[in-house]
Structure 1
Amino acid sequence: MIVGTAGHIDHGKTALVKALTGVDADRLKEEKARGITIDLGYAYSDLGDGRQLGFVDVPGHERFVHNMLAGATGIDAALLVVSAAEGIKPQTVEHLQILDLLGLDRGVVALTKADLADDDELLGRMAEIEALLCTTGLAGAEIMPVSALTGRGVDELKARLLALGESARNTAGFARLAVDRCFVLPGAGVVVTGTAHAGEIRVDDRLLLTPSGLEARVRSLHAQNRPAEIGRAGERCALNLAGPKLSREAVRRGDWVVGPELHMPTDRLDVRLRLLASEPQALRHWSPAHVHIGAAHVMGRVALLRGDRLAPGETMLAQLVLEEKVGALAGDRVILRDPSATRTIGGATVVDPFGPPRNRRTPRRLAELDAMAAWDDDDLLGRFLALEAGHADLARFGLAHNLRQAELERMLAAANGVRVQGFGFLEATLEAARRDIADTLAAFHENSPDAPGLQPERLRLAMRRRFPVPAFRALLEREVAAKTVALDGGFVRLPGHSLRLGARDEALWRKISADLARERFRPPRVRDFAQTYGEAEPQVRKLLRQLARLGRVVEVAPDQFFLRPAVAQMIAAADALGPDFTAAQFRDRLDNGRKVAIQVLEFFDRHGITVRRGDLRRTVPQKLGQYGPPPG
């Protein structure tokens, strides 16, 4: 378990940690000279029975609250320190507010310098502290008089801290460590230290630094100040890292060392925000603030989502729009300080680490955030799938909540959900979507019997429930595979629907298709067919464009139609010429004349089938099958 100190400057935090562990946590030369803690200090108490307490000693001066916050977000329990000689002071209050905003409900209060107060004074101080704690998560915490000078109560305090229990951090997810210190050791290289928030880190693991994305391999590690092969969530770890671009300057406090699966930096956090009751006035929409998350400290703006003012003591959904990208996951705690960084103003819990830049205040989005607010609830996925959106992007959901694939599938099964490609749906939603697609197509066929069907995007927009494009594509492919709908030439139709040409159009098409097959690489134009068969030119054009929508012919140039298999053959012929062929080589290969050859090649250029550089072209391998395989 990691215990973090908290309290006003000169109330004896560092001396108490030394009495508990035998280690002086003040490591900087300036700290020794000035007699105050400036940055984070670390100490460990080995109890000899396999158990161990780790301590993060934080500075108490108001100027160094940003350093205190870098260490406080990684602790499991609080050791609130109050001097019996001075009692509650300003930083006592602010540190306690921070602990409460971080959701800490395990801790002990050490009433230090007990040798400087008599029993009545101690009882008075304890009553003051109880009153201060009563509205926080540490309400009811034991208050223990101690003296680092005489040793009074130190052993009892250590026993009480051990009785709080071990860290409850998640070891099942992917590895995640908040970096609060980086330095270089001669002969070893870059070393980062921090608290592991989730998962396990092993020697030789290949990890990433977030937000930079730098690769790093774990050469060796220490967990709780001991050499180890594995560092687990809830332990303080020192990682000796190696990487091609890794240096002391490339790593900074606030970075995360994560499994590659968790590397997704973000600058928009949807949160549930609480403004402290002690604030003198309401927080306005788009107010600037200092944002502390993990060990990171960035500037940002607060976009309120259910109004333009948040009153002191109240809670509201908000989006934090940050000036820099950070690593964040659902459930992370955030501390906000005022623009001048002189006081803590509130705190938040991350609901969705990947907030949208638009439509963040719509009823649909707010309902999603309400459903996700209980981020650690086993039924979270089920509640989310039952919302109006009707689906979940499983990869994004798993990333936001640090879920391995097996755990994600378990949650989906518990919700009676179904995976369709990368999306989760309830069975009832799938059935409703199937009926919606069928009903929409049936109505279209009834109103437009001479049309081949609906293009996929028009179908999506016409449905009663409008799914995002990727989710709709997954649903449509499922229905095509189940043969409840058919996809012909870029149009979706019901299986029983087919475009029937009138007797006259059918007869004309038989003649035209024979001519197109005979002159496959240099077919007649629309006016030629009109003159040959005595038809009006607009009627011939309408017929061929109707057949183009069905995918039977392709309009390569205005009024110049080719059979679809002929287009596939021309693509194969171009590819057979090898890289960097000329228009003349293509013309000679097909013997279709320069004008038609140029029209065909320009069509290929427009559709990405070929890439032109000067007078030379080459085919694009990924596009060779765009019009089907060439006929054998």
Structure 2
Amino acid sequence: MIVGTAGHIDHGKTALVRALTGVDADRLKEEKARGITIELGFAYTDLGAGGVTGFVDVPGHERLIHTMLAGAGGIDFALIVVAADDGVMPQTREHLAILDLLGIARGAVALTKADLADKDRRAAVTADIHQTLAGTALADAPVLPVSTVTGEGLGALGACLAAAERGIALRSDDGPLRLPVDRAFTLTGAGTIVTGTVLAGRVSIGDEVLLSPTGLPARVRSIHAQNRVVEYGRAGERCALGLAGERIGRAAISRGDMVIAPALHAPTDRIDAELRLLASEPRPLADSAPVHLHTGSVGISARVVPLGAPIEPGAAGPVQLVLARPIAAAVPDRFVLRDASATRTIGGGRFLDLRGPQRRRRTPERLAHLAAAKTPDPREALTRLLAAPPHFVILPDFIRDRALPEAEATRAAAGTERIGQVVLAPATLAALRQSLTERLAGFHETNPELQGLGRERLRLALEPRLPGGIFPAFLRQEAEAGRLVLEGAFVRLPEHVARLSAVDEALWQDIAPELGGDARFRPPRVRDFATETGTPEGEVRRVLKLCARAGRVDEIAHDHFFLRTTTAEMVRLAAEAAEETADGWFVAARFRDRMQNGRKVAIQILDFFDRHGVTLRKGDLRRINPRRIDLFDPAESVAVITPA
């Protein structure tokens, strides 16, 4: 169990920790000289519950609240310290507000310096404490009089803490590692050390980890957990990790960094969240209000953008947090906000979405998405997200941003339909398929002579609108099931066959043989066909353009048409030319030589590939775009290339 002290300056937090553990948590010379805690202090003891209890002694001075916040994020039990002679003070109230915003519901109040108060004074301060705690998650916390001078109440407090430790279930360590760094230093012979409370997962000696948001890789060379040398540390324990790596050093690490499993590294600087504004605030939160954000051990400047109605004091609502720099975080981490001058706590809440959009962030659809994301249970949250716009979730991002263990991720996704990396509700996928069939059927009815509907045009016409990177996987899935046919860049229903009129088909039959064979890489042009068949150029051009729309030919250059099968063959030749180079970039001459064609025609063909994204160009060099290499591939289709 990790116990965090909280309370006003000089109310005896450090002395109480020393009395309970025998350890002086003030570790800086300045702290000892001034008699106050400036930095986080740590102490450990066995209270008799069968484990090692860790104490985080945090500063109480108003100017040092940011340090208190760095230690508050990982505690299991709050030990609130109120001096009997002073009573509840401003920093007591602010610490309590912070603990409440962080969702810490287990705790006790130590009424310190009890030797300085008589029975009536103790009763009055106790009543004030209960009134202050009312309405918070710690409303039922016991109040225990103690004195570090006489020893009064220390046994009862220790027993209270031991009972609390026995009642706290061990945190699951199945998930990926997350450890926010609250201290970083160098020890002679040990190297670079970072300390923090493991929020999730476990860490073992020899593990490869990342420091986020910097992305620095490191290897764990030593571990102290709960002040003992161990082979591994787990969720809920305070750990000191000895790190090694090429760029790992004290100057490269700071409070606010997070030691994580590499798969979690995805820093963010724009987070949508649910914010509760404290009732003590004098006015509603202004748009783009400057604040200081605290989460885990991070303290960073930010701006708050309310996404709905203005948030009144004592109320809650959705906001977007625009950070001064990226941080490592997870959903649903808690956060606390202080005002622009960092003199008072103004509110806090939970993160809902680590990838908040910059545009269209206040639409009803976006607000419905955030309302669905508020559910802390991953399975229920995913179900609600799939029922809200845009009705799909990119599953790897959902798993990563919530730092889910594998078993929890599997449970959350159970019962969903999958398209590549995207999951949808079964009803949504059924509606998408119906919309697809209706759109294609309507297009075929009004355009019987055309091969099919273009992929991108079809994607934009369907609801829900799948991302461009996911839509091809959906089409392939539907094609494999026999519900549609893919023909290069076009999509059609299986029963649809593009047909020309009898006259146009007859002209095509005269032209088609001249486009194939040995001359397929240098076929005649429109004027040549017009002369050979005695047909006006305009008619030849019109029929060939109809054939191009039907997927039989491609107009590589003006009035220069190639069979679709030839286009696909030329794509393969370009790919072979790329494979012959070390880096995949090739010049036009290499492609021309493979075709045994003239340079002018080769350039026209490559320009055609550039326009369609099959090749990517950089000066005189080109390379194949792997995402578009199958654009003209007849292997994906059953297109009619020669007349039926």
With normalisation by structure 1, the TM-score equals: 0.94
Aligned match of 2:640: none
- Report if aligned partners of 1:288, 1:301 keep a CA contact under 8 Å in 2: yes
Aligned match of 2:133: 133
Aligned match of 1:26: 26
Rounded Cα–Cα distance in structure 2 between residues aligned with 1:555 and 1:158: 85
Shift in CA distance, 170/538, structure 1 to aligned 2, threshold 3 Å: farther
Aligned match of 1:326: 327
After alignment, is 181-190 or 454-463 more displaced? 454-463
Rounded Cα–Cα distance in structure 1 between residues aligned with 2:134 and 2:592: 88
Deviations 1:147-197 (A, max 9, x none): 111211112101101222336544221110010000011122111000100
Aligned match of 2:247: 245
Aligned match of 1:278: 280
Aligned match of 1:476: 475
Rounded Cα–Cα distance in structure 1 between residues aligned with 2:258 and 2:239: 13
SS at match of 2:242: strand
Aligned match of 2:564: 564
Answering whether residue 436 of structure 2 is matched by residue 437 of structure 1, we say: yes
Aligned match of 2:108: 108
Match of 2:218 among 211, 216, 219: 216
Q: What amino acid sits opposite 1:207 in the alignment?
A: V
Aligned match of 2:292: 290
Aligned match of 2:487: 488
Rounded Cα–Cα distance in structure 1 between residues aligned with 2:622 and 2:348: 58
SS at match of 1:280: coil
Aligned match of 2:450: 451
Rounded Cα–Cα distance in structure 2 between residues aligned with 1:582 and 1:236: 59
- Report if aligned partners of 1:489, 1:549 keep a CA contact under 8 Å in 2: no
Rounded Cα–Cα distance in structure 2 between residues aligned with 1:302 and 1:619: 45
Deviations 1:535-579 (A, max 9, x none): 232332232223223433222211111223333444555646954
Deviations 1:396-445 (A, max 9, x none): 111122113332222222xx322232122222222111111111111111
Rounded Cα–Cα distance in structure 2 between residues aligned with 1:339 and 1:381: 35
- In structure 2, list runs of 5 or more residues that go unmatched: 636-644
Rounded Cα–Cα distance in structure 2 between residues aligned with 1:626 and 1:367: 37
Match of 2:265 among 249, 257, 263: 263
Shift in CA distance, 542/405, structure 1 to aligned 2, threshold 3 Å: farther
Q: What amino acid sits opposite 1:323 in the alignment?
A: A
Rounded Cα–Cα distance in structure 1 between residues aligned with 2:390 and 2:611: 36
Match of 1:180 among 179, 182, 201: 182
Q: In the TM superposition, what is the alpha-carbon distance from 1:626 to its structure 2 partner? A: 5.8
Q: What amino acid sits opposite 1:118 in the alignment?
A: D
Q: What amino acid sits opposite 1:179 in the alignment?
A: V
Residues 170-569 of structure 1: pairs in structure 2 closer than 5 A: 170-307=172-309, 309-376=310-377, 378-413=379-414, 416-518=415-517, 519-569=519-569
Shift in CA distance, 108/440, structure 1 to aligned 2, threshold 3 Å: same
- In structure 1, list runs of 5 or more residues that go unmatched: none
Deviations 1:258-299 (A, max 9, x none): 111211101111111011101111211211101111100111
SS at match of 2:367: helix
SS at match of 1:310: coil
Q: In the TM superposition, what is the alpha-carbon distance from 1:473 to its structure 2 partner? A: 3.6
Deviations 1:6-36 (A, max 9, x none): 0000000000000010000000111011111
Rounded Cα–Cα distance in structure 1 between residues aligned with 2:420 and 2:547: 33
Rounded Cα–Cα distance in structure 2 between residues aligned with 1:608 and 1:461: 19
Shift in CA distance, 79/191, structure 1 to aligned 2, threshold 3 Å: same
SS at match of 2:476: helix
Aligned match of 2:642: none
Q: What amino acid sits opposite 1:218 in the alignment?
A: V
After alignment, is 350-359 or 191-200 more displaced? 350-359
Rounded Cα–Cα distance in structure 2 between residues aligned with 1:275 and 1:40: 27
Q: What amino acid sits opposite 2:543 in the alignment?
A: L
SS at match of 2:491: strand
Q: What amino acid sits opposite 2:420 in the alignment?
A: Q
Shift in CA distance, 125/430, structure 1 to aligned 2, threshold 3 Å: same
Q: What amino acid sits opposite 2:328 in the alignment?
A: G
Q: In the TM superposition, what is the alpha-carbon distance from 1:474 to its structure 2 partner? A: 3.6
* Corresponding residue pairs, total: 626
- Report if aligned partners of 1:224, 1:236 keep a CA contact under 8 Å in 2: yes
Rounded Cα–Cα distance in structure 2 between residues aligned with 1:625 and 1:281: 60
Rounded Cα–Cα distance in structure 1 between residues aligned with 2:473 and 2:312: 44
Rounded Cα–Cα distance in structure 2 between residues aligned with 1:56 and 1:15: 13
- Report if aligned partners of 2:111, 2:145 keep a CA contact under 8 Å in 1: yes
SS at match of 1:329: coil
Match of 1:599 among 592, 596, 604: 604
- Report if aligned partners of 2:587, 2:622 keep a CA contact under 8 Å in 1: no
- Report if aligned partners of 2:43, 2:56 keep a CA contact under 8 Å in 1: yes
Q: What amino acid sits opposite 2:224 in the alignment?
A: H
Aligned-residue RMSD, C-alpha: 2.3
Shift in CA distance, 247/545, structure 1 to aligned 2, threshold 3 Å: farther
Q: What amino acid sits opposite 1:499 in the alignment?
A: A
- Report if aligned partners of 2:334, 2:351 keep a CA contact under 8 Å in 1: yes
Q: What amino acid sits opposite 1:135 in the alignment?
A: G
Rounded Cα–Cα distance in structure 2 between residues aligned with 1:341 and 1:607: 54
Shift in CA distance, 168/550, structure 1 to aligned 2, threshold 3 Å: farther
Q: In the TM superposition, what is the alpha-carbon distance from 1:607 to its structure 2 partner? A: 5.6
Q: In the TM superposition, what is the alpha-carbon distance from 1:600 to its structure 2 partner? A: 3.2
Rounded Cα–Cα distance in structure 2 between residues aligned with 1:582 and 1:314: 64
Rounded Cα–Cα distance in structure 2 between residues aligned with 1:324 and 1:621: 34
Rounded Cα–Cα distance in structure 1 between residues aligned with 2:554 and 2:250: 60
Q: What amino acid sits opposite 1:314 in the alignment?
A: A
Q: In the TM superposition, what is the alpha-carbon distance from 1:364 to its structure 2 partner? A: 1.1
Q: In the TM superposition, what is the alpha-carbon distance from 1:625 to its structure 2 partner? A: 6.2
SS at match of 1:370: helix
Shift in CA distance, 619/134, structure 1 to aligned 2, threshold 3 Å: closer
Shift in CA distance, 183/560, structure 1 to aligned 2, threshold 3 Å: same
Rounded Cα–Cα distance in structure 2 between residues aligned with 1:387 and 1:587: 53
Rounded Cα–Cα distance in structure 1 between residues aligned with 2:7 and 2:547: 79
With normalisation by structure 2, the TM-score equals: 0.92
Rounded Cα–Cα distance in structure 1 between residues aligned with 2:122 and 2:616: 84
After alignment, is 514-523 or 596-605 more displaced? 596-605
